[in-house]
Structure 1
Amino acid sequence: MKILLVDDEAELVSALSERLYFRGFEADWVSSGKEAMKKVTENEYVLAVLDVKMPRMSGLELRAKLEDIRPGMKYIFLSGHGSEDDYAVGTAKAECYLVKPVKIEELVEKINQALGS
């Protein structure tokens, strides 16, 4: 099962990908919505972890576009500075909404819950 991580902070998302790999997950990462749409077109992901606040395309906008490409994919939102409105929309449109910095154990737990593992 492949997971896609999307965050404009490349160092953060690459480190998350590596840490998830060591916990048995196959996690690709990209740092923009445009790259994410290309990856999802080329690969079969079961879940995407999306940063809510990104330049050019927010995680909320990206989720809507990815849903068109890969219906049924699951989502987890991450935010370092989300608003109450983002939280309300994010929790309605994803399996969960986590605040950065996120502990890897918490992210793993939420991924497992989202995937029914």
Structure 2
Amino acid sequence: MKSVRVLLVDDEEGFSSVLAKRLSRRAVDVSTALCGEEALHRLETHDYQVVVLDMKMPGMNGLEVLRIIKTEHPQVEVIVLTGNTDMKSALASMTAGAFDLMLKPANTEILINRIVDAARQGRIGRDEAV
């Protein structure tokens, strides 16, 4: 499997580093950002296929970041991770263009499968845009 470039955005540094290590062991080229602003900056300077995005963060929340990503980087697929099952924000994130929504703590194998699916979907979208 070709390596997928993923940006993991979560303000919980411990969670981020553990998940990043798990992903990198499975052919995922992963970078991390601790807030929405840092994530948006990284998207301007690096080429990512998938963003795994926490919903609740200080400053910009995940929904705000998702909307900006889908406006400025529509080819990037976003998987939202959330610690709660607030149906209103879940529906809002899917309406805003999230590829998927998963509850924390996400099963690593399932998350990797969704990341691969998202990267594949993004690739199809890029090919159609050409």
Instruction: Give the TM interval when normalised to the shorter protein.
Output: over 0.9
- Check if 1:5 corresponds to 2:12: no
Residue of structure 2 in register with 1:25 after alignment:
28
CA distance in 2, matches of 1:35, 1:82: 26
- Cα deviation 1:86-106 (Å, max 9, x = unaligned): 111122321110000111011
Gaps of 5+ in 1: none
TM-score, normalised by the number of residues in structure 1? 0.92
- Percent of matched pairs sharing the same residue: 31
Residue of structure 1 in register with 2:19 after alignment:
16
- Check if 1:83 corresponds to 2:96: no
State the 1:116 CA deviation.
Answer: 2.4
Deviates more, 1:96-105 or 1:61-70: 61-70
- Check if 1:94 corresponds to 2:107: no
State the 1:68 CA deviation.
Answer: 3.6
State the 1:39 CA deviation.
Answer: 0.7
TM-score, normalised by the number of residues in structure 2? 0.84
Gaps of 5+ in 2: 122-130
> Aligned residue pairs: how many?
117
**Computing the radius of gyration over CA atoms, which structure comes out larger, 1 or 2?**
2
Contact 2:66 2:93 in 1 (8 A): no
Contact 1:7 1:13 in 2 (8 A): yes
- Cα deviation 1:46-87 (Å, max 9, x = unaligned): 110100111111111001222343231100000002411011
Q: CA RMSD in A?
A: 1.4
